[in-house]
Structure 1
Amino acid sequence: MQRTATPRETLHWDDVKLFLALCRARTVGHAAESLGVDASTVSRRLATLEEALSATLFDRGRDGIAATEAAESLMPVAEEMEAVMARFATAAEGLEREVAGLVRITCPPDVADVFVAPILSELTSRHPGLRIALDPGEAVLDLTRREADIALRTVRPARGDLVVTKVTTARWVAVAAPKVARSLGTLRAWADAPWVSWGERLANMAASRWLGKYARGVEPVVRSDSLSVQLSVVVAGVGVALVPEPSIAHYGLVPVKLGPELQEDAAAWPVDELYLVTHRALRDVPRVRAVWDLLLERGRTL
């Protein structure tokens, strides 16, 4: 008599990755995109998985999929497996001996432009076997889930088995395109300038809070939650914005001249700290250490 295979014998790690992708994406299409396959493949593999488990994991609807009670009970175990696999991959990487392979860096877009991009030539010249994946964006990737190897962040991480080092401190100042700065002359009141600022979603940022306190009542001509967009708008000559000092020369901008009426406010310009972050288990992996050391070395000179 032929014995029926049990789920323990038929399930694989790829099945768990599929399950987690569906739980997090909530649509088959988004799950497929995150896994790098097409939607029909995800649907077929999900059907096979549910058959192996003899359980329905997701209810299908017009708006996507929803986890069933069975899926919700499996989710914590699947996340434990994911964490174990991440630790295994990290331990395997620790066996490296040469500075070679891919290092994934995540950071804000302006940090990528002003700080990271200019040192890549030196980095790859020193280590020809090194490859860099640079992910500039506002989203914070999870280093514990191996979404990136190194992060540059303006907020110090409070949780996770991470190594965190402060790279530099950057002050934000009011700047404009040279032509706009000349036309404004010496600014006597913050309301005398056309401002480019943040939207409500990032109202708690230090730069946004400074404007709310010292330029109270000023209505910006342009709002954007992307600093890259703000920089493009200011470079185009639309108005004045608070910008980190290391970015000023890089984008061809100049500080706005301030009259004595505004000097006291300017003494309280907002300040950001830039932190270099990696997972503790990756800190001494040769390819990660090479990138870390140069970022730290160059960051001290900003």
Structure 2
Amino acid sequence: MQDMDWSDLQVFLAIAQTGGLGRAGAALRVDATTVGRRLRRLEARVGANLFEQTREGQVLTDAGEALLLRVERMSRAAAEIGEGTQGRPAKVSGTLRISVAEGFGSWVLARHLPDFARAHPGLTVDLVANSGFLSMSKREADIAVMLSRPKAGPIIAGKLSDYALGLYASQTYLAAAGTPQRGADLLAGHSLIGYIPDLLYAPELRYLDEIHPGPTPRLRSSSINAQHQLIAGGAGIGVLPCFIGNADPSLSPVLPDKRIFRAFWMVTHKDTHQLARVQAGKDWIVAMIDRCRGLLLPRS
């Protein structure tokens, strides 16, 4: 980088953090034309396009992500020298996209996200919490919390925590239909709630047979939140993560000795896992998981 103008690299960093030439210019107090000119000069020296223009603004290319990692390191080092901040947490900005399972994202991550947002006011966080995961190999997300470790791809994965699941039903349903005392009782006239078999986005979601062989859900949904609403509404018995079932006072555990265990894995891309925003997100998720261990693995 010795042939590059540091001011051009600062312009590049501002565009990466704000996502637009105009916003970068406003942050640097220069006009967008100057920002664009400096970006073109830098791209000529690098020999590659650093951004792609999309409807949402400027999005980093692979070459841009690689350069951003180096420029962020330089920026942090300059800040430490100039301000004596060595050892303090670095300020992060830009957009951090986190892909998570719907239940974990809605019932655990989202409840703690405000603390992370307050700690990093310059960061925009996209929490993608739905039935399925974005592709880490294609870099559709910066961080993913998945139900299994990916078997291939340019990724880095580590186990976050085990978590427990169990059968739950509303007190209204149990008063009307009776409380099962053993797994075989689920086959005797009880209404079961579960996933749609051919729409499962992860094999780890196949768990009713672990309670007792043979039960077939009559009410099915691809959404764990919809299943929770069906169970809470008195429609039947279903499996929920304990961090959902135990959080709803209208629900009662059914066959509490029949617990199921799964695991959460945190996954990042090898090319971007060291970016400041990704490091900050990883550190927060690990710390949050430690605080929530009792919710994920409650005592029997």
**Same topology, TM > 0.5:** yes
- Contact kept, 8 Å, 2:164 with 2:260, in 1: the verdict is yes
Which residue matches 1:111? Answer: 104
Tell me the CA shift for residue 273 of structure 1.
Answer: 0.6
Which residue matches 2:144? Answer: 151
Q: How far apart, in 2, do the equivalents of 1:290 and 1:256 lie?
A: 37
Which residue matches 1:205? Answer: 203
Q: How does 1:1-302 map to 2 (within 5 A)?
A: 36=55, 86-94=61-69, 95-96=71-72, 97=76, 98-188=91-181, 189-192=185-188, 193-202=190-199, 205-208=203-206, 210-212=207-209, 214-252=211-249, 254-258=251-255, 263=257, 266=258, 269-300=259-290, 301-302=292-293
Tell me the CA shift for residue 127 of structure 1.
Answer: 1.1
5+ residue gaps, structure 2, are 1-47, 77-90, 294-300
Secondary structure of the residue that 1:151 maps to in structure 2?
Answer: strand
Q: How far apart, in 1, do the equivalents of 2:250 and 2:167 lie?
A: 10
Q: How far apart, in 2, do the equivalents of 1:88 and 1:272 lie?
A: 37
Tell me the CA shift for residue 172 of structure 1.
Answer: 1.6
Name the CA shift for 1:109/1:214 in 2 (closer, same or farther; >3 Å). Answer: closer
Counterpart of 1:270, as a letter, is I
Secondary structure of the residue that 1:140 maps to in structure 2?
Answer: coil
Name the CA shift for 1:134/1:218 in 2 (closer, same or farther; >3 Å). Answer: same
- Contact kept, 8 Å, 1:177 with 1:252, in 2: the verdict is no
Name the CA shift for 1:186/1:158 in 2 (closer, same or farther; >3 Å). Answer: same
Counterpart of 2:225, as a letter, is S
Count the aligned residue pairs: 217
Secondary structure of the residue that 2:104 maps to in structure 1?
Answer: helix
Which residue matches 1:4? Answer: none
Which residue matches 2:34? Answer: none
- Contact kept, 8 Å, 2:232 with 2:251, in 1: the verdict is no
Normalized per residue, the structure richer in helix is: 1
Q: How far apart, in 2, do the equivalents of 1:282 and 1:173 lie?
A: 37
Name the CA shift for 1:129/1:142 in 2 (closer, same or farther; >3 Å). Answer: same
Q: How far apart, in 2, do the equivalents of 1:90 and 1:294 lie?
A: 22
1:23-60 Cα shifts (integer Å, max 9, x gaps): xxxxxxxxxxxx659xxxxxxxxxxxxxxxxxxxxxxx
Tell me the CA shift for residue 185 of structure 1.
Answer: 4.7
Tell me the CA shift for residue 285 of structure 1.
Answer: 1.6
Tell me the CA shift for residue 152 of structure 1.
Answer: 0.8
Q: How far apart, in 1, do the equivalents of 2:67 and 2:244 lie?
A: 38
Q: How far apart, in 1, do the equivalents of 2:215 and 2:152 lie?
A: 37
Q: How far apart, in 1, do the equivalents of 2:220 and 2:237 lie?
A: 12
Which residue matches 2:16? Answer: none
Tell me the CA shift for residue 231 of structure 1.
Answer: 1.6
Given the two structures, how large is their TM-score scaled by the length of structure 2?
0.64
Counterpart of 1:299, as a letter, is I
Q: How far apart, in 2, do the equivalents of 1:103 and 1:132 lie?
A: 5
Tell me the CA shift for residue 239 of structure 1.
Answer: 1.0
Name the CA shift for 1:141/1:206 in 2 (closer, same or farther; >3 Å). Answer: closer
Cα RMSD for the two superposed structures: 2.8
- Contact kept, 8 Å, 1:206 with 1:271, in 2: the verdict is no
* Identity fraction in percent: 22
Counterpart of 2:160, as a letter, is V
5+ residue gaps, structure 1, are 1-12, 19-34, 38-84
